[in-house]
Amino acid sequence: MEKNITGNRTKNIPFGDLRAQYLQIQQEVDDAVQRVLKRGWYILGEELAVFEKEFAEYCESLYAIGVGSGTEALHLSLVAAGINPGDEVITVPNTAVPTVSAISFAGAVPRFVDIDPNTYTMDPQKLESAITSKTKAIIPVHLYGQCTDMDPILDIAKRHGLIVIEDACQAHGALYKGKKAGSIGEMGCFSFYPSKNLGALGDGGMVVTSNLELAEKVKLLRNYGQIKRYHHKIKGYNSRLDEIQAAILRVKLKYLDAWNELRRNKAGLYDFLIKDMDGIITPTEAIYAKHVYHLFVVRYVQRDKLQTFLTEKGVETLIHYPIPVHLQESYQGLGYTKGSFPVAEDYANKILSLPIYPELSDRDMVCVVEEIKAFAKL
Ligand SMILES: *Cc1c(COP(=O)(O)O)cnc(C)c1O
């Protein structure tokens, strides 16, 4: 047990520990990087081609296209789906802002629907009233590692002729009624930001789909719209998953299921340790879902005070996310106000993400919960 200069910090439990994961598989990762360096081919080469095949297979989809980030996966998916300036795209307000940036950069207008109070994901019952004659697409976000209730959303989308693009950036390996996240809608978008369940050592992203036409379109878009060298069929971008990251991700993909199981075990332990505490609400796994606990988010009325207390005790926590997107300065032009999405707004004031990652020790988890209990007794 360490003490800091103020003397009251009894432990140091960080929110994440990417170094610990690297050290576990250091030799394999280093070998993969060396293989790429020695080959001398760094963009759109064989590592990416093989990783795309492996990841498509993992997601039970026919195609996977590596891109520069999760944001770009969403952006290029929307462009590939033919979203045009002025079209409306519906998502949720309690997501990472990049979900919405992608909609903006496709030229479309983001529209929101509130969330289901139990799962924190899009409430299908509120979806239909947000659809207008301009709506073209829906982006359900599989928040914290749990899939949105997709069947009712797919039904509504079908009835209105809308395309469904999954934001699976927090849900690598999660299941919905036995189906892999990303394979349920027309397209699925993943981020390989280092702290995600499957993380690169840098930025990266992937679009998965079983629609050949859309796959081909994303492939063109990510590489300047180029059909063959210096022949540009459409206007495109530069957004590619590089060879070094692809080689690293190939190593890590082999461990993803085991790491997700560890996350699930740890979530179970938190649940067990927290279960009889008054006022702390732990996550629920929906009957249709296999949750992969990218985050372990509890709800508590005195969230800010609890967070300050835990910080003082050396337990790092985060808030995902403190300001719903419709209340962000950058999205004031959309015409939403405080009160537009009561559930998401209420939860933004109560949610707290506790440390959860495969390398987190049970001992540290017990410490986290002991400190929460100490706070509750004050
Ligand atoms: C991480 C994340 C993104 C963005 O991914 P980047 O790779 O950082 O661009 C988008 N949506 C959600 C839900 C995310 O968690």
Average pLDDT over residues 321-349: 97
With a 6 Å cutoff on the Cβ, whether 95 touches ligand 1 is yes
Q: What percent of the chain has pLDDT over 70?
A: 97
| Nearest CA owner, ligand 1 atom 3 | 70
Residue 10's pLDDT band (boundaries 50, 70, 90)?
low
Q: Is 219 a catalytic residue?
A: no
With a 6 Å cutoff on the Cβ, whether 191 touches ligand 1 is yes
CA separation, residue 14 to residues 192, 302, 315, 359 (Å): 21, 21, 6, 11
3-state DSSP call for residue 246?
helix
| Entry pTM | 0.96
With a 6 Å cutoff on the Cβ, whether 167 touches ligand 1 is yes
Query: Which residue matches tokens 């949750």?
Result: 291
Average pLDDT over residues 340-369: 97
With a 6 Å cutoff on the Cβ, whether 169 touches ligand 1 is yes
**Alpha-carbon gap, residue 73 to 99, rounded angstroms:** 10
Beta strands in the chain (DSSP E): 63-67, 88-91, 109-112, 135-138, 163-167, 175-176, 179-180, 187-191, 205-209, 226-228, 231-232, 289-290, 296-299, 351-354
378 C-alpha to ligand 1 centroid (Å): 37
What value does the mean pLDDT of the chain take?
Answer: 96
169 C-alpha to ligand 1 centroid (Å): 5
Query: Which residue matches tokens 């959860």?
Result: 356
**Alpha-carbon gap, residue 51 to 242, rounded angstroms:** 11
Closest ligand 1 atom number to CA of residue 193: 7
**Alpha-carbon gap, residue 277 to 18, rounded angstroms:** 30
Res 1 pLDDT > 80: no
Probe target for ligand 1 pocket from 139, 144, 193, 239, with the most ligand atoms within 8 Å of CB:
193
Domains of the chain: 18-113+120-250 (3.40.640.10), 256-376 (3.90.1150.10)
111 C-alpha to ligand 1 centroid (Å): 18
Closest ligand 1 atom number to CA of residue 204: 7
With a 6 Å cutoff on the Cβ, whether 239 touches ligand 1 is no
CA separation, residue 253 to residues 222, 247, 352 (Å): 23, 10, 28
241 C-alpha to ligand 1 centroid (Å): 15
* Res 277: pLDDT: 86
Instruction: Point out the catalytic residue in the list 196, 217, 252, 313.
Output: 196
Q: Measuring CA to CA, which residue among 292, 275, 293, 351 is closest to residue 317?
A: 351
Q: Are strands 135-138 and 163-167 parallel, antiparallel or unpaired?
A: parallel
Q: Measuring CA to CA, which residue among 187, 185, 173, 184 is closest to residue 75?
A: 187
Average pLDDT over residues 308-324: 97
What are the tokens at 339?
């009160």
